[in-house]
Structure 1
Amino acid sequence: MTQQADVIAFYELTQAKAKYCRMLDTKDWNGLAALMADDVEFGMSDGESEPNMTIGRNETLALLKSLVGGARTAHQVHAPEIDLNEDEAQVIWAVQDRAVFDDGTSVTGYGHYTERWVHRGDAWKLASLVLTHLITDVH
């Protein structure tokens, strides 16, 4: 890739991840689905155990709905480490996420998203995501 293409890809990836967070927090499941590859892989870890991976867009959306569909959430990402290789990108994001449930329970997690994005057509699609919480506060 050229330097200009790298800058464009960096911009597009950061925009795609910002949309991911907003779509998840606003429960825009169709918008979130549009950001994912059909065969997306999704997993979560506590930093010590291997993540149990869910495979497929519909399966991933069903899992996300079951986890946070009834909660108010805020996902914030920053400090991306982006490694581009043609039409594929490996990205690690620092993340802080918070979920507040109807019963008053709240969970705040601190950690990293480790992701693989693929460029399909004219857009980046999320192909793999592992959320690792290094610290989890429950109130």
Structure 2
Amino acid sequence: MTDHAELVACYELTQAKARYCRTLDTRDWDGLAALLTDDVEFGMGDGHTEPHMTVGRDETLTLLQSLVAGSKTAHHVHAPEIDLNGDEAQVIWAVQDRAVFDSGLAVTGYGHYTERWVRQAGQWKLASARLAHLITDVQQPVAG
């Protein structure tokens, strides 16, 4: 890959990940589905043990929908470490995510996404994602 092609690929990957965060937070499930491979793998954990992985686009969307149900969320990613290899990329993103549930419970996680992206028909698609929360802050609802 030329230097120019690498820069373009890095830009495209950051745009794809930004779209992932936006579509998840706005509950644009069709938009999110368009970013995933058919056989995407997704798992969450504490960074110390290997997470259980959900396999498949529909299964992953169902899991994500259940995780954010009854909440408002904001996912912020930054400082990507991108390793390109042709039409495949390994990317680690620093992440901070927050969910505030209708019950008043609020959870803020800090950690990393470790991902594999593949370029299919000129578009980057998420093929594998592991979210590891290294720190989780939980705020219980105030009793009233």
Give the TM bin, normalised by the shorter chain. over 0.9
Where does the alignment leave 5 or more consecutive residues of structure 2 unmatched? 140-144
Alpha-carbon contact 1:35-1:124 (below 8 Å) kept? yes
AA paired with 1:55? V
Summarize the alignment of residues 1-139 of structure 1 with structure 2, pairs less than 5 Å apart. 1-139=1-139
Q: Which stretch of the first structure deviates more once superposed, 63-72 or 76-85?
A: 63-72
Aligned length: 139
The two structures, once aligned, show a CA RMSD in angstroms of 0.5
Q: Secondary structure at the match of 1:83?
A: strand
Contact 1:27 1:69 in 2 (8 A): no
Q: Following TM superposition, by how much is the alpha carbon of 1:97 offset from its aligned partner in structure 2, in angstroms?
A: 0.1
Within 1, Cα distance between the matches of 2:37 and 2:114? 16
Q: Distance in 2 between matches of 1:13 and 1:58?
A: 22
Aligned-partner Cα distance in 2 for 1:70–1:24:
13
Distance in 1, Cα, partners of 2:37 & 2:48: 27
TM-score, length of structure 2 as denominator length: 0.95
Q: Percent identity?
A: 73
- Unaligned 5+ runs, structure 1: none
Secondary structure of 2:77's counterpart equals strand
Which has the larger Rg? 2
Query: Distance in 1 between the 2:70 and 2:122 partners?
Result: 33
Deviations 1:32-73 (A, max 9, x none): 000000000000010121100000000000000001032100
